[in-house]
Chains A and B, each alone.
Chain A
């Protein structure tokens, strides 16, 4: 990826003091950043990597300080892309090197956070220490003397409790002049054993009494992480999570879809020129609607993820699922992305940001699109209904439902297997990361942080993915609608120009897309797909569910939502199979399998491009998934064909 046009929208004010915030994950760094900058923050990206960059300004006494919230890190010896960013930003040669750093120290785990501080003091930058969670330290019967700590460290120390306005104000004033901060007389040591000694002596001088075990967290964990009860609660939580996304987001999505549909109709009625009306209604308004339809899902998903993260439950989910995900070579945190992909792969791919390992992130985002997303559902419903009579039963269960369940299972197993292969192929690339994860104490959610993560996710989606989806949607509309069929030609072809359905069918039959469908049909010939099915597959590139409507158009079905009857009667128009039924059980099974595995969704391609940082990965995903789909469809057609006859 080129770095130049993808730079973050960084609020750079000439001459303003620049401060970098660093700290362990969960140390309260983001809460502090939000308190300092309020709404004056922007999210961007570091060039070339998918690490979100937060830069904001704090205003005090009419002056401004630029504050950068660096990703949470345990060490300045980086092993993940997030940590690389921290190390590079603070590096001597960095053009972005701040004028001073604020190290956020979690008062409840000072033994560890002082290790990062000792490292930070080696940088030679003015350094300020902020103690967070002092209230929790007190609740857990620990104590620390900030003044004595400051003296022992040789740098200024300030205690800041979240939501304490006066303390935040004091800190802002201090940040105005990093040059005035006191510097340590001696730099801390660098050898591990000497660091241990240094930390011990600093803590002793600061009259540190460590926090006792957090009883509240232990008691909650005894239930939530219980080998049996914990899993039951987890399954119920996941079920509700999934239900909420479907029951709350789906109606809003329908509203948006209907709204833009109505707007499109209004436009086509009032724009005289046919092709322009079509482009505006079908291409642009339809495309914008298609982009906005994702927003309810993304907002809700990130709201729920934010709540899980903010309360500390996310770490528990990863704990419970780690064993299962380990089978695919992934870790517990990848589960969330896979689960989200059941709704839609786009937010699922965005959710891989929580993974610290670049390899895991890649393996997860490359395979998450195999999970059965909601867009596959209408296609499956149609095809399964064509394949299996509704009265068919296996024991007490309807066979249709069983097949449907099997399709979901197939997607999940396929995703896990593919992830395993990717991890295998990517082995040795980059460092082997140890798996570790902190189990933070349970805390009340910070609504400000949750709100910000929802806002950021939606904003990034609109800015970076929305444009690509819109462009592809317009391109697809052009393919399906050009060349415009003139009335003379249609009359000559014997089409009744007053019959809207017939006109639409003629238009589609003679479109560029039909040409493409006919051109690539030989590829699908062995699967038993004729060019009309191929056109359906081309149209499904916009969104899978479009397949249903396109097939309805192709067959001029009366009910666009349910073209089952017409499809069942379709026959081959030409060639060796002329007159034979097109949708044999083998072909239907093949189509089902093709939809299960193929990467048809352009929005997913766009999200992959954006999150992986290059077109290479979406290209690989497209190739491997299409190949997998073709082979599965071929085998499915042979097997089902042989079984049913």
Chain B
């Protein structure tokens, strides 16, 4: 993850703007890079060619500033369980990859 990629984090959401959360002294990584039991803060979404996906992720509780915990990963590239907004949700890595989080 280089600096350019971090700049390209898209923050628009279904035409509704999300303010950019400043991030000093932290690393921005895709949600898929989290290890089991690790918690990180949601910063924004990337590569959102499809707005409906981001809108839905928002409605599922994946909101900027929310803490997300990686709970469990199914073997051989199966779905990943995250704890967000008080509930446990399954995502596939294709969706989880769009979510950018910061780890301290």
Contacts and interface: CB of A to CB of B under 8 A. Distances in A.
Interface of A: 74-75, 77, 79, 106, 108-112, 115-116, 190-193, 195-196, 210-211, 213, 217, 221, 225, 227, 315, 318-320, 322-323, 326, 332, 431-439
Contact of A319 (B56, B59, B74, B95): B74
A322 B73 CA distance: 12
A434 B85 contact: no
Given A74-B56, A322-B78, A190 B16 contact: yes
Interface string B56-98: 1111110111100000101111110101111111111011000
Interface residues of B, number: 40
Given A319-B74, A434-B56, 8 more contacts: A111-B66, A225-B74, A323-B75, A323-B76, A436-B56, A437-B79, A439-B81, A439-B90
Looking at B57, B63, B77, B90, which has the most chain A CB atoms within 10 Å of its CB?
B90
A222 to B, nearest CB: 9
Given A111-B85, A437-B89, A438-B87, A193 B59 contact: no
A181 to B, nearest CB: 25
B75 to A, nearest CB: 4
27 contacts: A77-B14, A79-B56, A109-B61, A109-B85, A111-B66, A112-B61, A116-B59, A191-B17, A192-B58, A192-B63, A193-B18, A193-B19, A196-B65, A210-B86, A227-B75, A318-B90, A319-B78, A320-B74, A323-B74, A323-B77, A326-B92, A332-B79, A432-B50, A432-B53, A433-B56, A437-B90, A439-B81
Nearest to B75: A227
Contacts of A322: 74, 78-79, 90, 92
B34 interface: no
A226 B17 CA distance: 40
A436 B95 contact: yes
Nearest to A431: B52
A211 B85 CA distance: 10
A194 to B, nearest CB: 9
Contacts of A434: 52-53, 56-57, 91-92, 95
Contacts of B84: 112
B66 to A, nearest CB: 7
Interface string B13-40: 1101111000000000000000000000
Given A111-B61, A435-B91, A213 B78 contact: no
A226 to B, nearest CB: 10
Contacts of A225: 72, 74
Contacts of B60: 74, 112, 436
B87 A112 contact: yes
Contacts of B87: 106, 108-109, 112, 438-439
B86 A111 contact: yes
Contact of A112 (B72, B79, B85): B85
Which 5 residue pairs are nearest across A and B when measured between Cβ atoms?
A109-B86, A112-B61, A75-B59, A111-B85, A112-B85
B50 A435 contact: no
Contacts of B55: 75, 77
Contacts of A326: 92
Looking at B14, B86, B88, B89, which has the most chain A CB atoms within 10 Å of its CB?
B86
Nearest to B57: A434
A191 B16 contact: yes
A191 B13 CA distance: 9
B79 to A, nearest CB: 5
B2 to A, nearest CB: 27
Contacts of A315: 90
A433 B95 CA distance: 10
B79 A435 contact: yes
A100 B26 CA distance: 47
A106 B92 CA distance: 25
Contacts of A195: 63
Contacts of A438: 87-90
A312 to B, nearest CB: 10
B92 to A, nearest CB: 5
B12 to A, nearest CB: 10
A154 to B, nearest CB: 22
Contacts of B79: 319, 322-323, 332, 435, 437
Nearest to A321: B78
A107 to B, nearest CB: 9
A79 B61 contact: no
A210 B55 CA distance: 24
Contacts of A77: 14, 52, 55-56, 59
A420 to B, nearest CB: 17
Given A434-B56, A434-B57, A112 B86 contact: yes
A492 B4 CA distance: 94
A320 B77 CA distance: 11
A77 B15 CA distance: 13
Contacts of A221: 72
A227 B76 CA distance: 10
Contacts of B65: 196
A171 B74 CA distance: 42
A5 B16 CA distance: 42
A79 B52 contact: yes
B86 A108 contact: yes
Nearest to B53: A434
Nearest to A320: B74
Nearest to B12: A192
A610 to B, nearest CB: 29
A315 B86 CA distance: 17
Given A111-B85, A191-B17, A193-B19, A319 B90 contact: yes
A606 B67 CA distance: 49
B8 to A, nearest CB: 19
Contact of B86 (A192, A211, A323): A211
